[in-house]
Chain A
């Protein structure tokens, strides 16, 4: 059974710092991995999708990496801004059933 874990559960850093969020998964048979952002009480915004055959994806200040063999992904945020404050969730889509299996998220606070 696929399990997704995100560490840390919460992170608070000063504005301008670069930071890394971690996501690990137990079953390497995945179709893809997605990183999402969720603002309080809101829905989910897709940030980056990494196909199982890819190693990384970049969008603006965000870079996501994927190491299937070790069951890990990281989301790197460069030059953090207060507007980046949100909960970041990673989700994997399994080969077998097309469901997204989610981590519990990392709550990120960027202090001005």
Chain B
């Protein structure tokens, strides 16, 4: 296992288009997180899955955002009707249940033009 994998690494889209990102966590990890990071800031929590269940969503996650984790494996994050303010690095992390480290992917950098 090579760690947490995110695709694509970069995405440029026109305002109003829909985009979908994928995250493949470390295979035995049952927790999966999505974060968003803008330049010069720390990441901000978006949502969290334990196995296939989405247990928590941030208020940052507007109705245009939806995340899924079918079968408790990979996860997708979709943004509908993208806005320029959605431009950011979207980071995925996974961990085991319990008091363990979170491991991050390389992120997907979204630019909305």
Which residues of A pack against B, CB within 8 Å?
4, 31-32, 34, 36, 41-46, 49, 51-52, 89, 91, 93, 97-105
Q: Does B74 interact with chain A (Cβ within 8 Å)?
A: no
Which residues of B pack against A, CB within 8 Å?
4, 6, 31, 33, 35, 40-45, 48, 56, 91, 93, 99-107, 109
Return the contact of A99 from the options B4, B40, B56, B104 (Cβ within 8 A): B56
CB of A46 within 8 A of CB of B45, answer no
Q: How far is the CB of A14 from chain B (nearest CB, A)?
A: 25
CB of B45 within 8 A of CB of A51, answer no
Identify whether the interface residues of A are mostly helix, strand, loop, or mixed.
strand
Bound-state Cα–Cα, A89 to B99, Å: 19
Q: Which residue of B lies closest to A90 (CB)?
A: B42
Return the contact of A44 from the options B31, B45, B104 (Cβ within 8 A): B104
CB of A32 within 8 A of CB of B99, answer yes
CB of A41 within 8 A of CB of B109, answer yes
A41-B109, A98-B48, A99-B48 are contacts. A104–B104 as well, Cβ < 8 Å?
Answer: no
Q: Which residue of B lies closest to A32 (CB)?
A: B99
A31-B99, A32-B99 are contacts. A42–B45 as well, Cβ < 8 Å?
Answer: no
Contacts of A98 in B (CB 8 A): 31, 48, 56
CB of A43 within 8 A of CB of B104, answer yes
A34-B101, A43-B91, A51-B99 are contacts. A104–B42 as well, Cβ < 8 Å?
Answer: yes
CB of B48 within 8 A of CB of A104, answer no
Contacts of A31 in B (CB 8 A): 99
Return the contact of B106 from the options A42, A89, A99 (Cβ within 8 A): A42
Contacts of B6 in A (CB 8 A): 43
